[in-house]
Amino acid sequence: MRHGVQRGYRTTAGTGQGGRRHGVLWGVLGILMELLFTLAAVCALYIVWQMWWTGVQAEHEQVEARQSVSWQSPVADDDQTAIAPKQEGEPPVQPENPLEGDLIAQIYIPRFGDQWERNIVEGTTLEQLNRHGMGHYTTSQMPGQVGNFAVAGHRNGYGQPLGDVDKLQEGDAIVIRTQNYWYVYHYTSYEIVTPDRTDVVAANPEDPGAEPVKRMITLTTCEPKYTAATHRWISYGEFDYWAKVSDGVPAELTTTDASGTVRFINTRQPSAIERLGSMRPIVIAALIAYVVIFLAAAVAWRWPVLREIREGRRPRPEVSIYGWVLRHQPGVAPIRWLLLLLLIVAAAAALLEWGYPWLAANIPYLRDMSNYVAV
């Protein structure tokens, strides 16, 4: 009998140890899965930063630049628009001597959407392209001049101003607006070249060794779109006419509603997040809300862990990182989930504002992939 009892006791004990080992294994696997899930979320959020948030920040900078110069609106107070008549004679040159980073023009390409609009600043450094939309090659001509008005823009990230350049069709309007004048070009052709082909922005890209005889526009961007850029996509257009901003809007940028009223096609207003332009207020707001709710919950309900200790129960060990954080928040379950969510929001916003720019500036692979420069 004793022998049988002993054998039964050993079997039970062995099963208990095996169960504990099994539980520890599943706990380790659970934590590993949480770490992998977190890493995947961080990588996905990096793509959000690259594809979306850099564009929001660029749009914020462009809105501020347009507001700072206070250019005359071509649209009347009642939103009605006059079609600016084509002007005869030599197109005026504006501006004449811009400085690096100055806003020199705005560009509209209806093929990219009625609400598509970007700034053009002087200079094509990454700082200018990342922050201000598109940049004018300083060695090329100004809008309307005989020669080549050449500008560059990103194909991916930072608002991807030329992300849809492959959709251009022959005859599409490319409209440039300076402070006082409109310059209307029409798209003619494109070519894909290697980065060393600087002749594409020459005064006469069709025959770089000859004097220019046309008024051209050239748009340059990276190719291919979503991978390391090995080539450049070059789009060409030729000048059609110029008009005065004070006279209205070029016909290419207007539409007529059912009542016969002519309106400017671009009615887009910056969103609330574009007006914000920074994640700092979101980080601060999330942390303040967390502290306030945390203290209120601590006073009203206290911590579940402390309640277990007070009742003489030993707190069960956690085998989950997020479970441990959730369990150590005060309050009832909905409050604890809210506190955890606020921490996640603050962490995600902090990554967008500081974490990913630091990674893109200091890790060579990410720097090459994102074209990021610290400013």
- The Cα 108–Cα 266 span in angstroms is 9
- The Cα 374–Cα 327 span in angstroms is 39
Rg (CA), the chain: 30
Give me the domains of the chain, ranges plus CATH numbers.
Answer: 2-59+274-370 (no CATH), 74-264 (2.40.260.10)
- The Cα 44–Cα 56 span in angstroms is 17
pLDDT of residue 354: 94
- Strands (E) located in 101-210: 103-108, 118-122, 134-136, 147-153, 173-177, 181-193
pLDDT of residue 256: 85
- The Cα 83–Cα 267 span in angstroms is 16
Rounded to 10 degrees, the C-alpha dihedral 69/218/371/271 comes to 40
Question: DSSP of 281-303, one letter per residue?
Answer: HHHHHHHHHHHHHHHHHHHHT--
- The Cα 80–Cα 104 span in angstroms is 26
Q: What tens-digit pLDDT sequence spans the chain (375 residues)?
A: 444 444 444 444 445 565 556 566 766 787 888 899 999 999 999 999 988 999 999 999 999 998 888 898 888 766 678 899 999 889 999 998 899 999 999 999 999 999 999 999 999 998 899 888 899 999 999 999 999 999 999 998 898 999 999 999 999 999 999 999 999 999 999 999 999 999 999 999 988 888 999 999 999 999 888 777 889 999 999 999 999 999 999 999 998 887 878 888 888 888 888 888 899 999 999 999 999 999 988 887 766 666 666 665 655 556 678 888 887 888 888 998 999 999 999 999 999 999 999 998 888 888 777 777 765
- The Cα 78–Cα 362 span in angstroms is 50
pLDDT of residue 273: 83
pTM of the model: 0.82
